[in-house]
Amino acid sequence: MKNIDSYTHVRGESVYLDDIPIVNGTLYAAVFDSPVAHGKIKSLDTNEASDMRAVVRIFTAKDIPGQNQIGGIVPDEELLASDHVHFCGMPVALVVAETEEAARAAVKKIKIEIDPLHIITDPREAKEKGELIIPPRTFQIGDTNNAWSGCEHIVEGSTETNGQEHLYIETQGAYALPLENGGFRVYSSTQGPTAVQRTTARVLDLPMNKIEVDTTRLGGGFGGKEDQATTWGVMCALASYHLKRPVKYSLHRMEDMRMTGKRHPYSSDFKIGLNKDLKIIGYEVTFFQNAGAAADLSPAVMERTLFHCTNSYFVPNVKATAYSCRTHLPPNTAFRGFGGPQGMFVIEAAIAKAADVLGIPASDIQQKNLLKTGDEFPYGQKAESEANECWNKANELYDINKLRKEVDAFNKNNKLSKKGMALMPICFGISFTKTLMNQARALVHVYTDGSVGISTGAVEMGQGVNTKILQVAARIFSIDPSRIKINSTNTWRVANTSPTAASAAADLNGRATEIACNEILNRLKQVAAEECLAVAEIDKTGIPPFEIKEEWIYINGKKTDWNWNKLVMAAYIRRVSLSEHSHYTPPGIHFDPAKEKGHPFAYHVYGTAIITATIDCLRGIYEVDSVKVVHDFGSSMNYLVDLGQCEGGIVQGIGWMTMEELLYNKEGKLMTNALSTYKVPDIYSVPKEIDIHFLQSDKDNLAIFRSKAVGEPPLMYGIGAYFALRNAVKAFNPSADIPYDAPMTPEKVLMSLYQKKEVTSPV
Ligand code: MTE
Ligand code: HPA
Ligand code: MOS
């Protein structure tokens, strides 16, 4: 089954926020944001801007009727700065004009005076000064203090991972329209329509039922629109509230890059201890998360870092502590992997460093410590592991030793170009780490012509969730997929939704859809029993002995002359409901934050990747040659969608680890604020070869149709690219002491190649 959007996507007909037809009288908004990262506002002069042609009004914090507060977890973030600014790019005023051009021209005429205050950009400095978003948390298993004595090898070190710009193709934006009786409709490019609704209601001091948020699809979100789409929806609604006219704001790329938060940079310290058999006996890690200027989702991201701090390995003694550090960067936010990749990088660095010290390949340590079923994670859940299955299958298919020999032979025969290889096993927990968020609802209507309309809380952002939900209904009803339509995500149709995030949207909303469809199907079966079958043919259990197959009704395996349409009409005539609203929540998950123990995940996703890269030892540039993967899909319900998610995730992970370099200067100003200075992977930098093997299993799990969640886990294979490049550098300069500092940009490769050596031509 193809992605249901592919036809309109390739024809340019799919509707995104900026394609919604504009209503007469629509005004355009643009934000004036702080040029300074930290300070007290002395004066704000909007006079010249207000007097400009076509400018309708300029709003500041004083114009907010309800709370000037948009923080989702911690109420620590103003919509518009009232007296202090906390990051470069913090919204201060909202200009509304008759045209986009006029609004942006007026923004340039606003003048602000700010008394500067001390700027912190480094999370370790923030921690020293006690600037924490929430108190630190520690996950623990066993006792690391006693572990070290049993270790043959103990290695310590530090790591840095940088942030990442989401770079969704569609920038942030919203379009608000006033409705009768003081209500509003907000079209929003958001992963969380309910978040937009809730916060708009809070800021405007209205009940949530007055706010309708509607989302057809996003041109990508990647976590960047889980929380931070809210700002723009609320801004448009605020202007619309005062002016009683529709207001739209679709951000320019540079506005978006400057004003929105990104993946969290982390600075971390580790200590790892191994026994003589290379078993990891102890692991201690401290994470300093650069949260930015407000909490946003940082506490939840920090939590997932702790959950994934041992990646795919069993470690009997672990102590992992995390600090969420308040700095003066834009508030950092969700990004594919949600803190998991940051946690996993550190243990991979620890293993790599131990392997260096021992003079063995890191994969020897990795393989020895893979999780087995029954092993306990530091947070108390027991693994149902596919880690060894994936690793062994990868070895069987791709022959790790042979690949290593090829790399070694290449390096022997080449002076100016070197290859490196790395393995990257992954393990990712599926479920929102906040247990209560694991709930979803679906609204299914069967119309009298037999067509079906479905609404859920899931937001389509390119990941194919609508295709999967449609497949669920098609399979349950056994009708042609073309009869089913997935409608926009709308807070008036489906309420109190969790954001589309945590890779869990297809599972949660798919299972809700499954429940609703089954309810309707059971009613239809009852109608069929009464309408078209002799009572005698109903077996003793009372369940009619027939089924619907490809739109025809079968009794005892024999086709009848009743089809789907006839049955639906019969139900309608008998006044049987053809609609259902269902609720799903996964069973068995719980977590106790007081003990930091529980069973937070419905299940885990596993996989192993082998990454090979080649560096040019004169220039420091490189190519990723191949990524060979065995990935645990459970029992995939859509091969193409899942393959696409895997490939996309890998490339995005490689981008984070190798070329995407966010730079803020000491004043907290983003230097890499456009595509000319921020390099993302393009078609030339994707791996020459991506080979993905589906580890298909029909083992029971809580996924929809046992088809495991796939949205985020593959991103973490990209971490292997970092270590492959590192190994290639070491093949050229074995004595190089390369800091664990991602991304491994060509610049850093070049510096490492010639570190501690005379910079002379190696020829
Ligand atoms: N794929 C595309 N094409 N675009 C996206 O924005 N977001 C990712 C992933 N894959 C994203 C994507 C993220 S961060 C998540 S959490 C999941 O999709 C969410 O969707 P799912 O729960 O349906 O997997
Ligand atoms: N993952 C993604 N998004 C989230 C989560 C999570 O675990 N918790 C809250 N938002
Ligand atoms: Mo994804 S980071 O959970 O939106």
Q: What is the pLDDT of residues 204-242, one digit of tens each?
A: 999 999 999 999 999 999 999 999 999 999 999 999 999
Contact 80, 60 (CB under 8 A): yes
Query: What's the CA dihedral at 719, 697, 313, 346 to 10 degrees?
Result: 20
Ligand 2 center–CA 498 separation, angstroms: 9
Rounded CA separation 544/539 (Å): 7
Contact 661, 679 (CB under 8 A): yes
Rounded CA separation 426/335 (Å): 17
Which ligand 3 atom sits nearest the alpha carbon of residue 225? 4
Which ligand 3 atom sits nearest the alpha carbon of residue 226? 4
Domain of 550, CATH number, reads 3.30.365.10
pLDDT interval class at 696 (50, 70, 90):
confident
Ligand 3 neighbour 300 (Cβ under 6 A): no
Ligand 3 neighbour 717 (Cβ under 6 A): no
Ligand 2 center–CA 235 separation, angstroms: 24
Residue-wise pLDDT tens digits, 309-365:
999 999 999 999 999 999 999 999 999 999 999 999 999 999 999 999 999 999 999
Q: Which residues are catalytic?
A: 712
pLDDT the model gives residue 536: 45
Q: Token match 């710009």: residue? A: 165
Q: Which ligand is nearest to the CA of 714?
A: 1
Residue-wise pLDDT tens digits, 423-434:
999 999 999 999
- Measured from CB, residues less than 6 Å from any atom of ligand 1 are 220-223, 336, 461-463, 465, 500-506, 645, 648, 709, 711-712
Which ligand 3 atom sits nearest the alpha carbon of residue 224? 4
Question: Which among 167, 262, 336, 652 is the best mutation to test ligand 3's pocket, defined by most ligand atoms within 8 Å of the CB?
Answer: 336
Q: Both 676 and 566 in a single domain?
A: no
Q: Both 179 and 250 in a single domain?
A: yes
pLDDT the model gives residue 557: 82
Which ligand 1 atom sits nearest the alpha carbon of residue 502? 16
Query: Atom 12 in ligand 1: which residue has the minimum CA distance?
Result: 463
Question: Which among 165, 167, 264, 336 is the best mutation to test ligand 1's pocket, defined by most ligand atoms within 8 Å of the CB?
Answer: 336
Query: Atom 6 in ligand 2: which residue has the minimum CA distance?
Result: 432
Domain of 19, CATH number, reads 3.90.1170.50
Last-in-domain residue among 206, 227, 259: 259
Q: What are phi and psi of 48, to 5 degrees?
A: -60, -40
In a domain, 762, yes or no: no
535 pLDDT above the threshold of 50: no
Alpha-carbon torsion (716, 721, 726, 727), positive or negative: positive
Q: Which ligand is nearest to the CA of 299?
A: 2
Ligand 2 neighbour 502 (Cβ under 6 A): yes
Question: Which among 710, 712, 716 is the best mutation to test ligand 3's pocket, defined by most ligand atoms within 8 Å of the CB?
Answer: 712
Q: Both 462 and 379 in a single domain?
A: no
90 pLDDT above the threshold of 90: yes
Which range is least confidently modeled, 31-40, 219-228, 395-404, 560-569?
A: 560-569
pLDDT the model gives residue 539: 53
Structure token digits, residue 677: 């200075």
Rounded CA separation 163/148 (Å): 33
In a domain, 465, yes or no: yes
Average pLDDT of span 297-308: 98
Q: Which ligand is nearest to the CA of 305?
A: 2
In a domain, 39, yes or no: yes
Q: Both 176 and 298 in a single domain?
A: no
Ligand 3 center–CA 293 separation, angstroms: 20
Question: Which among 463, 467, 637 is the best mutation to test ligand 1's pocket, defined by most ligand atoms within 8 Å of the CB?
Answer: 463
Ligand 3 center–CA 494 separation, angstroms: 20
Q: Both 232 and 105 in a single domain?
A: yes
Q: Both 419 and 566 in a single domain?
A: no
Across the chain, what does the average pLDDT equal? Answer: 96
Ligand 2 center–CA 638 separation, angstroms: 24
Query: Atom 4 in ligand 3: which residue has the minimum CA distance?
Result: 223
pLDDT the model gives residue 558: 84
In a domain, 520, yes or no: yes
Average pLDDT of span 167-192: 98
pLDDT the model gives residue 507: 98
Ligand 3 neighbour 338 (Cβ under 6 A): yes
Question: Which among 165, 190, 226, 433 is the best mutation to test ligand 3's pocket, defined by most ligand atoms within 8 Å of the CB?
Answer: 226
Rounded CA separation 687/134 (Å): 40
Q: Both 280 and 215 in a single domain?
A: no
Query: Atom 1 in ligand 2: which residue has the minimum CA distance?
Result: 502
Ligand 3 neighbour 262 (Cβ under 6 A): no
In a domain, 122, yes or no: no
Ligand 3 center–CA 222 separation, angstroms: 6
547 pLDDT above the threshold of 90: no
Which ligand 3 atom sits nearest the alpha carbon of residue 500? 4
Q: Both 456 and 410 in a single domain?
A: no
For the chain, percent of residues with pLDDT exceeding 70? 97
Rounded CA separation 468/461 (Å): 13
In a domain, 550, yes or no: yes
Q: Which helix (H) or strand (E) holds 530?
A: helix 505-532
Last-in-domain residue among 525, 550, 584: 584
Name the residue among 481, 470, 451 with its Cα closest to residue 572: 451
pLDDT the model gives residue 554: 87
Ligand 3 neighbour 191 (Cβ under 6 A): yes
Which ligand 3 atom sits nearest the alpha carbon of residue 338? 2
Residue 323 domain boundaries: 266-433+595-753
Q: Both 382 and 496 in a single domain?
A: no
Q: Across-strand partners of 548?
A: 553
In a domain, 126, yes or no: no
Q: Which helix (H) or strand (E) holds 6?
A: helix 6-10
Q: Which ligand is nearest to the CA of 301?
A: 2
Which ligand 3 atom sits nearest the alpha carbon of residue 337? 2
pLDDT the model gives residue 672: 98
Ligand 2 neighbour 433 (Cβ under 6 A): yes
94 pLDDT above the threshold of 50: yes
Structure token digits, residue 329: 């960067």
SS3 labels along 265-321? CEEEEEEEEECCCCCEEEEEEEEEEEEECCCCCHHHHHHHHHHCCCCCECCCEEEEE
pLDDT the model gives residue 275: 98
Q: Both 388 and 455 in a single domain?
A: no
Ligand 1 center–CA 641 separation, angstroms: 11
Residue-wise pLDDT tens digits, 352-367:
999 999 999 999 999 9
Which ligand 1 atom sits nearest the alpha carbon of residue 225? 6
Ligand 3 center–CA 34 separation, angstroms: 28
pLDDT interval class at 109 (50, 70, 90):
very high
Ligand 1 center–CA 290 separation, angstroms: 23
pLDDT interval class at 542 (50, 70, 90):
low
763 pLDDT above the threshold of 50: no
Q: Both 287 and 377 in a single domain?
A: yes
Which ligand 3 atom sits nearest the alpha carbon of residue 499? 4
Contact 173, 189 (CB under 8 A): yes
pLDDT the model gives residue 530: 83
Ligand 3 neighbour 501 (Cβ under 6 A): yes
Q: Both 669 and 623 in a single domain?
A: yes
Ligand 3 center–CA 604 separation, angstroms: 16
The gap between the terminal CA atoms of the chain, to the nearest Å, is 54
Last-in-domain residue among 192, 227, 259: 259
Ligand 3 center–CA 126 separation, angstroms: 26
Ligand 3 center–CA 648 separation, angstroms: 14
Name the residue among 752, 743, 757, 746 with its Cα closest to residue 160: 743
Contacts of 663 (CB under 8 A, 6+ apart): 670, 671, 672
Ligand 3 neighbour 168 (Cβ under 6 A): no
39 pLDDT above the threshold of 90: yes
Domain count, the chain: 3
Ligand 2 neighbour 301 (Cβ under 6 A): no
Q: Across-strand partners of 319?
A: 140, 284
In a domain, 411, yes or no: yes
Ligand 2 neighbour 306 (Cβ under 6 A): no
